[in-house]
Amino acid sequence: MPTTRRQFLSLAGGATAAGAIPIVTLQPLEATPAMLSAAIRNVVGEAPVRTGKVKLDIPPLVENGNTVPMTVSVASPLTANDYVKSIHVFNEKNPQPNIGNFYLNPSSGRAQVSTRIRLADTQKVVAIARLSDDTFWQAAADVVVTLAACTEEMN
């Protein structure tokens, strides 16, 4: 017999009353654009994010999503009162939306970070820089992925 919503709710309610709160953990299948914007809001808060200053270097077409080279650089004089505080990189469709947060300082010399990332699908990658005056700047790039990463079966 299929469980109706009403039965399920009353069961859940009963369990709560008995002191055992049911914990349901849902494993998201992929970061939806909503998760992407939520992850970005988590970092920038209510501040506006302007396009510019940030350069995101990533191949537009990758055969293997398991190692995608990526470089983010920010145009900044890197002086004691005008520098890049941090760089945050996000993806749109991996199982979770964060890629990395990188923290810099006035003596970084050059506001540039390179790493290798995984992409589970053809999607958009967004890099956001936080400057010392707490303004946010972004760049986005679309990447076509032929072989997906992250969720493949283990052999």
Partner 1 sequence: MAALINVPSKARRGDIIEIRTLTSHIMETGFRHTADGALVPRDIITSFTCRYNGTEIFRADLFQAIAANPYLSFFTVAKDSGKFEFEWIGDNGYASTASASITVE
Range 57-76, binding partner 1 (CB under 8 A)? 66-68
Nearer to partner 1, 49 or 148 (CB): 148
Strand-pair category, 112-117 with 98-103: unpaired
Q: Which of 95, 122, 135, 140 binds partner 1 (CB under 8 A)?
A: 95
Nearer to partner 1, 119 or 139 (CB): 119
Is residue 108 near partner 1 by the rule CB under 8 A?
A: yes
Candidates 9-17, 54-62, 96-104, 136-144: pick the segment binding partner 1 (CB under 8 A): 96-104
Is residue 37 near partner 1 by the rule CB under 8 A?
A: no
Q: Which of 56, 99, 128, 129 binds partner 1 (CB under 8 A)?
A: 99
Give Dmax over CA atoms of the chain in angstroms.
69
Is residue 110 near partner 1 by the rule CB under 8 A?
A: yes
DSSP assignment of 30-66 equals S--HHHHHHHHHHHHTT--EEE-SEEEE--SEEEETT
What is the distance between the alpha carbons of residues 94 and 84, in angstroms, rounded to a whole number? 27
What is the distance between the alpha carbons of residues 33 and 92, in angstroms, rounded to a whole number? 6
